[in-house]
């Protein structure tokens, strides 16, 4: 594994390797804290980011590396009209690995093809957000013990939320027991993903309301409405109450083992009274982003020896 | 005189290529995309011709022309049932049905406006994921597309 571009590129063995390295990093952090000594990692973020950028910065520093880059395009040569490809070629000569986020879909893929340094996709428009999927799966595996045969519900914006697409592409490798896709018709998942689930013989349901649909789930993955990606005008107010998860809703599901994940930022979709309950895994999920990204950086740079 | 005989006489070529069994109505798109109207040698186009196999078809005959792989792929994209007949000394030397390859390079335009190939000058690459439906997937933005656009 040299690049992390799209979840579609990975097999189960690749996920297992990342989880195994992330676990080792958690247990033995001092083993890794100089592994990037003398190395420079570039973070080039054309779109705003809090968690992803900060967790990559943290991951790089915890591995003993140096981080350079930019997180907005206001004051850089992009404003002068420099193309993405030229920027990648230039940044490649300054760094040992590139992490990039952009709204141009497919840009990380071409980046990995024009440079010899590893490239990690930190999100490309509506397309992929693979590192989020790695940490989502790692979180689920840590809590549930295994990723096999789980019942997973997806709630909220399933149309514009790239984390949903990436996670679905990955979870089918683990033969889920059931997938529930709970969203307003406007935000329901693209039909091509239903075709994908059918091709993999996954039992799924397309639902429009929360109702009694949490009772048999192992995991509920909640997403924010991606307003910034919506071209059509839509009034969100009527949707807010209908698709908001509260402690009361979770308690009424009679499912004490249910875990709730969210890629964050959370806006209205999960109320604060859920935060201190055993259901709430989303802050642990964000925290896991650091070790998972540490693992991905080490693997992509060929620093993990097979034992 | 029968239609068949009329077309054989008016469109006779001794050497060249005949593109047969073109989906009805697609011949003019093929002429445009392959720029056949700019050729020096003659081109004969017949549309809505009777076909025993498909009911109706289009045909193109091009004198002294060899089709490149890129042109063959474009024909396959526009008309998946087309057959290519190589004519030499008035006889059919070789004949085959067009076949879409598994990957298509720099022929199609991605219909996703946010794709890197539409923002910067990069040759496109697509995978054919369903030959019957002519469904392709962009190598870069990973979008599946059926309403293909030939560059």
Would you give per-residue pLDDT tens digits along chain A (307 residues)?
Answer: 899 999 999 999 999 999 999 999 999 999 999 999 999 999 999 987 888 999 999 999 999 999 998 887 655 656 667 889 999 999 999 999 999 999 999 999 999 999 999 999 999 998 999 999 999 999 999 999 999 999 999 999 998 888 998 999 999 999 999 999 999 888 899 888 999 999 999 999 999 989 889 999 999 999 987 665 555 656 666 777 788 999 999 999 999 999 999 998 888 899 999 999 999 999 999 999 999 999 999 999 999 976 4
CA distance A49 to A174: 30
Q: Which residues on B lie below 8 Å from A109 (Cβ)?
A: 116, 139-140
CA distance B61 to B17: 6
Identify residues of A whose CB sits under 8 angstroms from chain B CBs.
Answer: 6, 8, 83-85, 103-107, 109-110, 124-128, 192
pTM value?
Answer: 0.89
Residues 6+ apart with CB under 8 A from A232: none
CA distance A75 to A54: 20
CA A57, A61, A64, A69 torsion: positive or negative?
A: positive
B120 and A84 within 8 Å at the Cβ level: the answer is yes
Q: Is the complex ipTM higher than 0.90?
A: no
CB atoms closer than 10 angstroms to residue A184: 19
Residues 6+ apart with CB under 8 A from B108: B77, B124, B126, B136, B148, B149, B150, B151
Identify whether the C-beta of residue B138 lies closer than 8 Å to the C-beta of residue B110.
Answer: yes
pLDDT at A78: 60
A52 is catalytic: yes
Q: What is the pLDDT of residues A263-302, one digit of tens each?
A: 988 888 999 999 999 999 999 999 999 999 999 999 999 9
Q: Which residues pair with B91 in a beta bridge?
A: B88
Identify whether the C-beta of residue A197 lies closer than 8 Å to the C-beta of residue A206.
Answer: no
CA A258, A262, A268, A274 torsion: positive or negative?
A: positive
| Integer Rg of chain B from CA | 17
CA distance A58 to A135: 15
Q: Which residues on B lie below 8 Å from A85 (Cβ)?
A: 120, 122
Closest chain A residue by Cα to residue B140 = A106
Helix axis angle, A130-144 to A162-171, nearest 10°: 60
CB atoms closer than 10 angstroms to residue A243: 22
CA distance B138 to A110: 12
Closest C-alpha among A91, A95, A109 to residue A297: A95
Q: Which residues on B lie below 8 Å from A103 (Cβ)?
A: 114
- In total, chain A counts a number of residues equal to 307
CA distance A261 to A139: 9
CA distance B143 to B151: 17
Residues 6+ apart with CB under 8 A from A50: A265
- Report phi then psi at B88, rounded to 5: -140, 125
CA distance B126 to B104: 5
What is each CA distance from B69 to A103, B28, B34, B43, B91, in whole angstroms?
Answer: 35, 20, 12, 20, 22
Q: What is the pLDDT of residues B98-117, one digit of tens each?
A: 999 999 999 999 999 999 99
B116 and A106 within 8 Å at the Cβ level: the answer is yes
Going by the DSSP 8-state scheme, the letter that residue A156 receives in this structure is S
Identify whether the C-beta of residue A154 lies closer than 8 Å to the C-beta of residue A181.
Answer: yes
Token pair for A44: 């080039």
CA distance B104 to B77: 10
């Amino acid at each position: 594994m040299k690049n992390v571009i799209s979840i579609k590129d990975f097999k189960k063995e690749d996920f297992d390797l990342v989880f195994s390295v992330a676990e080792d990093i958690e247990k033995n952090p001092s083993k890794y804290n100089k592994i990037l000594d003398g190395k420079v990692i570039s973070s080039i973020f054309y779109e705003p980011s809090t968690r992803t950028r900060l967790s990559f910065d943290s991951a790089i520093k915890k591995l003993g590396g140096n981080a350079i880059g930019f997180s907005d395009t206001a004051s850089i040569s992009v404003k002068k009209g420099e193309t993405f490809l030229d920027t990648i070629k230039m940044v490649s000569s300054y760094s040992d690995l590139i992490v990039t986020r952009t709204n141009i879909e497919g840009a990380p893929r071409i980046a990995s093809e024009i440079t010899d340094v590893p490239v990690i996709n930190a999100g490309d428009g509506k397309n992929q957000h693979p590192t989020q999927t790695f940490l989502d799966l790692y979180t689920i595996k840590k809590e549930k013990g295994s990723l096999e045969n789980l019942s997973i519900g997806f709630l909220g914006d399933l149309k514009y939320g790239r984390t949903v697409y990436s996670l679905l592409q990955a979870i089918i490798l683990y033969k889920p027991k059931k997938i529930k896709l709970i969203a307003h018709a406007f935000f329901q998942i693209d039909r091509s993903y239903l075709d994908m689930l059918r091709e993999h013989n996954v039992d799924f349901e397309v639902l429009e309301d929360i109702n009694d649909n949490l009772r048999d789930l192992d995991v509920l993955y909640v997403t924010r409405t991606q307003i910034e990606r919506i071209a059509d005008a839509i009034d969100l107010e009527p949707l807010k109450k209908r698709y908001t998860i509260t402690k009361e809703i979770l308690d009424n599901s009679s499912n004490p083992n249910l875990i709730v994940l969210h890629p964050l930022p959370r806006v209205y979709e999960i109320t604060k009274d859920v935060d201190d309950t055993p259901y709430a895994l989303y802050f642990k999920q964000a925290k896991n982003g650091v070790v998972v990204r540490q693992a991905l950086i080490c693997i992509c740079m060929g620093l993990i020896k097979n034992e | 005189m029968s239609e068949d005989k009329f077309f054989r006489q008016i469109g006779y070529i001794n050497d060249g290529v005949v593109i047969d069994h073109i989906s009805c109505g697609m011949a003019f798109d093929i002429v445009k995309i392959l720029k056949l109207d700019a050729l020096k040698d003659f081109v004969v186009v017949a549309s809505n011709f009777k076909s025993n196999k498909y009911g109706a078809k289009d045909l193109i005959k091009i004198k002294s022309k060899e089709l490149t792989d890129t042109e063959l792929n474009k024909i396959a994209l526009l008309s998946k049932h087309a057959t290519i007949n190589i004519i030499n000394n008035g006889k059919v030397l070789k004949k085959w049905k067009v076949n879409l390859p598994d990957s298509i390079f720099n022929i199609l335009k991605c219909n996703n406006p946010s794709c890197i190939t539409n923002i910067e000058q990069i040759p496109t690459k697509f995978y054919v994921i369903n030959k019957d439906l002519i469904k392709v997937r962009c190598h870069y933005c990973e979008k599946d597309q059926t309403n293909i656009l030939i560059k």
